[in-house]
């Protein structure tokens, strides 16, 4: 099984090299990314199994819980394997009601980084991504002040590498004028391909692109957001290559560009093993051409984007997410 992760290939993430199949820990919380998971032992088992299967890139944030996922990672994996890269995200804070407020001031970012270090048990964050605000889609605004603040924390040794999350191509250029980028994290999948050109531009410069919402938030994505004709295309290819639709969705991301990283979420070992097996799925040129047609077949079904977090077609308790997706 380890070979399925290693067969996904490798990519540079700052000064480290990681497998392109990682793990995203966001779902290891309670409802609406608040509080502990329903099955704590299962969450710990998922993290341990991910590393056993060759995962060397785990994505987290103190925003999840808050700090629930960070604490689970530390309990399950500390002392960490030498090759494990933990990527986190700062730039927001959770409200007592479970909401998300931006927290982009220099003092707020320092506090967030220091809290991440404490909860994860690290001397320096491997990669800290600046999470810019905006519901549904990135907001076009300057990131100079907060990114300069993170760059100062890097100079002070609290952070080793910097990235940006939930941003536009213009903001990527703005960030790169301030400090080197290890990665960009953005919404990207079979039917959300706004960043096609950005992916290719970053690939030419050797910068990793993490496909958030590739399958990060539900093991049933992207089927919940696709129209019946789009779903039919995905299922046809899946039958042809003897894989599940979610495995094909991941395999397409890996085939899309050599700099794409995938951080699928899973809340059980069985889910984890299924999605990581996508690293061994081989898509031929005809399969990729057919999958590329999906984006030309229309957008999400009537009613907008899916309400993530409650399983296939389900809603998080208390209603859907603003913008149709979790704000993490």
For residue 125, pLDDT over 50 is answered with yes
For residue 199, pLDDT over 50 is answered with yes
Residue 5 pLDDT: 86
For residue 318, pLDDT over 70 is answered with no
Average pLDDT over residues 118-122: 98
Average pLDDT over residues 307-319: 31
100's enclosing H/E stretch is strand 100-102
Q: Name the percent of the chain lying above pLDDT 70.
A: 86
Alpha carbon distance, N-terminus to C-terminus of the chain: 30
For residue 145, pLDDT over 50 is answered with yes
pLDDT band at 215 (very low <50, low <70, confident <90, very high): low
For residue 303, pLDDT over 60 is answered with no
Nearest to 213 by CA among 303, 117, 300, 143: 300
pLDDT band at 143 (very low <50, low <70, confident <90, very high): very high
Tokens 């081989």 sit at which residue?
282
Nearest to 166 by CA among 189, 190, 136, 191: 136
Q: How many residues does the chain have?
A: 328
Active site residue 23: no
Is residue 130 within 8 Å of residue 91, measured between CB atoms? yes
pLDDT band at 136 (very low <50, low <70, confident <90, very high): low
Residue 227 pLDDT: 86
Give the active site residue among 64, 80, 188, 217. 64
Residue 134 pLDDT: 74
pLDDT band at 322 (very low <50, low <70, confident <90, very high): very low
CB within 8 A of 282, min separation 6: which ones?
A: 241, 251
> pLDDT per residue over 246-267, tens digit each?
999 999 999 999 999 999 999 9
Phi-psi region of 242 (alpha: psi -120 to 50; beta: other; left: phi over 0): left
Residue of 319 and 161 predicted with greater confidence: 161
3-class SS at 258? coil
- Tokens describing residue 4: 């399925």
pLDDT band at 225 (very low <50, low <70, confident <90, very high): confident
Residue of 307 and 6 predicted with greater confidence: 6
The mean-pLDDT minimum among 35-39, 95-99, 108-112, 259-263 falls in 95-99
Q: What does the mean pLDDT of the chain come to?
A: 88
pLDDT band at 305 (very low <50, low <70, confident <90, very high): very low
Q: Name the percent of the chain lying above pLDDT 90.
A: 76
> pLDDT per residue over 22-70, tens digit each?
999 999 999 988 999 999 999 999 999 999 999 999 999 999 999 999 9
Residue 312 pLDDT: 29
Residue 40 pLDDT: 97
For residue 219, pLDDT over 90 is answered with no
Residue 218 pLDDT: 40
* Per-state percent for the chain, helix, strand, coil, to nearest 5: 40, 15, 40
For residue 138, pLDDT over 60 is answered with yes
CA separation for the pair 64, 10 (Å, rounded): 27
Residue 328 pLDDT: 64
């Amino acid at each position: 099984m380890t070979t399925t992760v290693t067969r996904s290939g490798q990519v540079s993430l700052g000064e480290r090299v990681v497998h392109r199949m990682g793990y995203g820990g966001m779902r290891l919380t309670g409802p609406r990314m608040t509080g502990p998971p329903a099955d704590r032992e299962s969450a710990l088992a998922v993290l341990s199994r991910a590393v056993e299967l060759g995962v060397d890139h785990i994505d987290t944030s103190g925003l999840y819980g808050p700090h629930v996922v960070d604490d689970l990672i530390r309990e399950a994996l500390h002392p960490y394997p030498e090759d494990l890269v933990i990527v986190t995200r700062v730039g927001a804070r959770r409200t007592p009601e479970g909401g998300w407020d931006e927290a982009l001031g220099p003092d707020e970012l320092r506090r967030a980084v220091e809290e991440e270090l404490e909860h994860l048990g690290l001397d320096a964050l491997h990669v800290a991504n600046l999470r810019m605000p905006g519901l549904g889609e990135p907001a076009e605004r300057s990131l100079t002040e907060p990114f300069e603040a993170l760059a100062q924390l890097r100079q002070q040794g609290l952070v080793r590498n910097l990235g940006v999350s939930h941003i536009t191509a213009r903001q990527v250029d703005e960030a790169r004028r301030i400090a080197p980028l290890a990665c960009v994290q953005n919404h990207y999948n079979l039917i959300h391909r706004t960043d096609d050109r950005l992916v290719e531009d970053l690939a030419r410069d050797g910068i990793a692109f993490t496909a958030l919402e590739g399958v990060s938030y539900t093991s049933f994505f992207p089927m919940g957001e696709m129209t019946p004709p789009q779903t039919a295309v995905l299922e046809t290819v899946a039958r042809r290559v003897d894989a599940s639709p979610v495995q094909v969705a991941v395999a397409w991301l890996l085939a899309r560009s050599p700099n794409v990283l995938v951080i699928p979420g899973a809340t059980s070992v069985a889910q984890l093993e299924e999605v990581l097996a996508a690293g061994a799925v081989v898509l031929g040129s005809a399969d990729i051409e057919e999958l590329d047609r999906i984006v030309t077949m229309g957008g999400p079904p009537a009613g907008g984007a899916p309400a993530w977090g409650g399983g296939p077609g389900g809603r998080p308790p208390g209603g859907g997410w603003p913008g149709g997706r979790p704000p993490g």
